[in-house]
């Protein structure tokens, strides 16, 4: 298979990201930051901002890809209290781009929030940040304080008569709080459980008021769209997926990290050209194109354009834009089990198909890898997934069912092989000689004590042997939690 690719990043959101002082307001302003907010608050018609956002076709970068401008236009006009919630919960395995955006350029996000709030007639905004993002929370706190001091937040912003209060709220570490309505409950101080929809948040959201909820990357795009116009924005990407995307690439690649590319570039170019492809002598076996909730694709998918529409046509999704690569050393049944365990652990338990379905799926996949299942059990696993999909209150249940289904359907012979191999090993008492199993059990489950960041010493040693930097929670690290990697190949993200 050819690995020849040539591609460069198209950096809009990460343009000045290599400047370590970018998080300071003076440096941000020296690159033209806050000029768009000044213009918008001084003399732009609110309708024209909404119009520009709608025309740009900017789609939500948090998972569903819903047009951002449309969401703003759904907010009712009038004097009632309206809210903006920035979703910075980013807890899906494979996703770590919001972390970098907040860590490197917090003012870009604050400016996006201020302009979006102006457009929506919103007076109170919140950034709901994942609790484990402690450092990024501190950076945001400092940036928000600077923005208040400089008059970009608070009362009578820049003498415009508009007020905006912005609060950084730290979550308590539950993946489900990234679901927009669970996020609202958590913000209100309740247990973070999804709400029934409708009513949608734009009509009845936080404290019962109309609420705009958008992802960090979506809001970070807003100053650029408003500064340069919809036509400029649409000159990047494809017709249905305009703009750039910060893609988090992890798993079995040489240079894991965040790469900002125009939507619609070839997926192969991102994985091989930017992230370096798999290690010498290895081939890609499968990849999740949009985080651990997206149905895995086989190598044929490498030639697809990386866009919302192409991924949907291929039966998968772009999601939050996180590519997780599994090479030929990865056991797909174990990867399915690791994925299912994550969703089972994170299910809030409110609805039966998800609560029971994730539990049953984990139990059945455990039987598969122990060699206690039969090929007929694979049909039962598939049928359990069918009964989850479309039958849950929120998308968490489907988020497990979609990738697990895809893995069982596309890699059935490997599941059958694992069942037979594990059964034979248990009969003969011979250990599994693939060395794969322990990687998927995570630190502590395979008899090893977890090391730094919960990664087992064996995995850390493997990373060292492979010549890769080891996850150490380093000062400038921009990776997601390495222990979440569903391939079991936890790796630190390279700076680039």
List contacts with ligand FMN (CB under 6 A). Answer: 60-64, 66, 87, 89-91, 175-176, 178-180, 213-215, 218, 394-396
397 binds ligand SF4 (CB under 6 A): yes
Choose the one of ligand SF4, ligand FMN, none that binds residue 146, judging by a C-beta under 5 to 8 angstroms depending on kind: none
Is the distance from CB of 255 to CB of 78 less than 8 angstroms? no
Instruction: Give me the residue whose beta carbon is nearest to ligand SF4.
Output: 354
> Quick one: 95 or 249, whose CB is closer to ligand FMN?
95
CA distance 317 to 296: 9
> Quick one: 394 or 459, whose CB is closer to ligand FMN?
394
195 binds ligand SF4 (CB under 6 A): no
Choose the one of ligand FMN, ligand SF4, none that binds residue 180, judging by a C-beta under 5 to 8 angstroms depending on kind: ligand FMN
Compute the least distance from the CB of residue 358 to ligand SF4, in Å.
7
Q: Which of residues 289-348 bind ligand SF4 (CB under 6 A)?
A: 347-348
Choose the one of ligand SF4, ligand FMN, none that binds residue 60, judging by a C-beta under 5 to 8 angstroms depending on kind: ligand FMN
Near ligand SF4 by CB under 6 A: residue from 50, 166, 340, 396: 396
3-state secondary structure string, the chain? CCCCCCCCCCCCCCCCCCCCCCCCHHHHHHCCCCHHHHHHHHHCCHHHHHHHHHHHCCECCCCCCCEHHHHHHHCCCCCCCCEEEEEECCCCCCCCHHHHHHHHCHHHHHHHHHHHHHHHCCCEEEEEECCCCHHHHHHHHHHHHHHHHCCCCECCHHHCCCCEEEEEEECCCCHHHHCHHHHHHHHCCCCCCCCCCCCCCCCCCHHHCCEEEEEHHHHHHHHHHHHHCHHHHHCCECCCCECEEEEEEEECCCCCEEEEEECCCEHHHHHHHHCCCCCCCCCEEEEECCCCCCCCECHHHHHCECCHHHHHHCCCCCCCCEEEEEECCCCHHHHHHHHHHHHHHHCCCCCHHHHHHHHHHHHHHHHHHHCCCCHHHHHHHHHHHHHHCCCCCCCHHHHHHHHHHHHHHHCHHHHHHHHHHHHHHHHHCCCCCCCCHHHHHCCCCCCCCCCHHHCCHHHHHHHHHCCCCCCCCCCCCCCCCHHHCCCCCCCCCCCC
194 binds ligand SF4 (CB under 6 A): yes
Compute the least distance from the CB of residue 93 to ligand FMN, in Å.
11
- Residue 166, beta-bridge partner list: 125
Choose the one of ligand FMN, ligand SF4, none that binds residue 20, judging by a C-beta under 5 to 8 angstroms depending on kind: none
Compute the least distance from the CB of residue 353 to ligand SF4, in Å.
7
Near ligand SF4 by CB under 6 A: residue from 354, 369, 378, 460: 354
Choose the one of ligand FMN, ligand SF4, none that binds residue 218, judging by a C-beta under 5 to 8 angstroms depending on kind: ligand FMN
Compute the least distance from the CB of residue 346 to ligand FMN, in Å.
7
392 binds ligand SF4 (CB under 6 A): yes
Question: If 0-12 CB within 10 Å is exposed, 13-18 middle and 19+ buried, where does residue 65 land?
Answer: buried
> Quick one: 181 or 329, whose CB is closer to ligand FMN?
181
What is the separation, in whole angstroms, between the first and last Cα of the chain? 26
351 binds ligand SF4 (CB under 6 A): yes
Q: Could you count the other beta carbons within 10 Å of the beta carbon of residue 438? A: 18
Angle value at C-alpha 257, between 292 and 3, nearest 5 degrees: 90
Near ligand SF4 by CB under 6 A: residue from 176, 186, 252, 317: 176
> Quick one: 215 or 244, whose CB is closer to ligand FMN?
215
Q: How many residues bind ligand SF4 (CB under 6 A)?
A: 14
Choose the one of ligand FMN, ligand SF4, none that binds residue 207, judging by a C-beta under 5 to 8 angstroms depending on kind: none
Compute the least distance from the CB of residue 57 to ligand FMN, in Å.
13
> Quick one: 181 or 331, whose CB is closer to ligand SF4?
181
Near ligand SF4 by CB under 6 A: residue from 355, 370, 458, 496: 355
Compute the least distance from the CB of residue 120 to ligand FMN, in Å.
13
Choose the one of ligand FMN, ligand SF4, none that binds residue 347, judging by a C-beta under 5 to 8 angstroms depending on kind: ligand SF4
> Quick one: 291 or 301, whose CB is closer to ligand FMN?
291
> Quick one: 22 or 176, whose CB is closer to ligand FMN?
176
> Quick one: 273 or 403, whose CB is closer to ligand FMN?
403
Structure tokens, 114: 């201020």
349 binds ligand SF4 (CB under 6 A): yes
- Contact residues for ligand SF4 (CB under 6 A)? 176, 194, 347-351, 354-355, 392-394, 396-397
């Amino acid at each position: 298979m050819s690995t020849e690719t040539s591609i460069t990043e198209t950096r809009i959101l990460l343009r000045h990201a290599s400047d370590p002082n970018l998080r300071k307001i003076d440096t941000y302003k020296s690159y033209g930051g806050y000029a768009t907010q000044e213009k918008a608050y001084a003399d732009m018609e609110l309708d024209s901002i909404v119009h520009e956002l709608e025309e740009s076709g900017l789609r939500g970068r948090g998972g569903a890809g819903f047009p951002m401008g449309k969401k703003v236009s759904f907010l009712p006009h009038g004097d009632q209290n309206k809210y903006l919630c920035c979703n910075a919960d980013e807890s899906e395995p494979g996703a770590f781009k919001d972390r970098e955006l907040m860590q490197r350029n917090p003012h870009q996000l604050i400016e996006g929030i201020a302009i979006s709030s102006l457009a929506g007639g919103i007076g109170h905004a919140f950034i709901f940040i994942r609790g484990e993002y402690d450092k990024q929370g501190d950076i945001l706190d400092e940036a928000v304080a600077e923005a208040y001091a400089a008059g970009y937040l608070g009362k009578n912003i820049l003498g415009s008569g508009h007020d905006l209060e912005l609060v950084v709220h730290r979550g308590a570490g539950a993946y489900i709080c990234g679901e927009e309505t669970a996020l609202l409950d958590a913000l209100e101080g309740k247990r973070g459980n999804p709400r029934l929809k409708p009513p949608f948040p734009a009509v009845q959201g936080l404290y019962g008021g109309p609420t705009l909820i958008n992802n960090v990357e979506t809001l970070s795009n807003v100053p650029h769209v408003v500064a340069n116009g919809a036509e400029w924005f649409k000159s990047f990407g494809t017709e249905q997926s305009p703009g750039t995307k910060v893609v988090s690439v992890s798993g079995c690649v040489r240079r894991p990290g965040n790469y900002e590319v125009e939507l619609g570039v070839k997926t192969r170019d991102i994985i091989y050209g930017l992230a370096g492809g798999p290690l010498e002598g290895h081939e890609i076996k499968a990849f999740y194109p949009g985080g651990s909730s997206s149905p895995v694709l086989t190598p044929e998918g490498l030639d697809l354009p990386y866009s919302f529409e192409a991924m949907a046509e291929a039966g998968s999704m772009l999601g939050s834009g996180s590519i997780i690569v599994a090479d030929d050393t990865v056991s797909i049944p174990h990867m399915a089990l690791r994925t299912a365990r994550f969703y089972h652990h994170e299910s809030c338990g409110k609805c039966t198909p998800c609560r029971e379905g994730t539990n049953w799926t984990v139990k059945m996949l455990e039987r598969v890898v122990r060699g206690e299942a039969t090929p007929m059990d694979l049909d039962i696993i598939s049928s359990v997934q069918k009964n989850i999909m479309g039958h849950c209150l929120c998308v968490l249940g489907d988020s497990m069912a979609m990738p697990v289904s895809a893995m069982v359907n596309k890699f059935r012979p490997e599941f059958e092989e694992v069942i037979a191999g594990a059964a034979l090993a248990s009969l003969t008492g011979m250990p599994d000689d693939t060395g794969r199993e322990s990687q998927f059990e995570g630190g502590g489950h395979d008899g090893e004590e977890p090391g730094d960041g919960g990664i087992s010493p064996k995995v850390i040693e493997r990373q060292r042997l492979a010549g890769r930097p080891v996850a150490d929670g380093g000062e400038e690290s921009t990776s997601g939690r390495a222990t979440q990697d569903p391939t079991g190949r936890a790796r630190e993200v390279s700076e680039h």
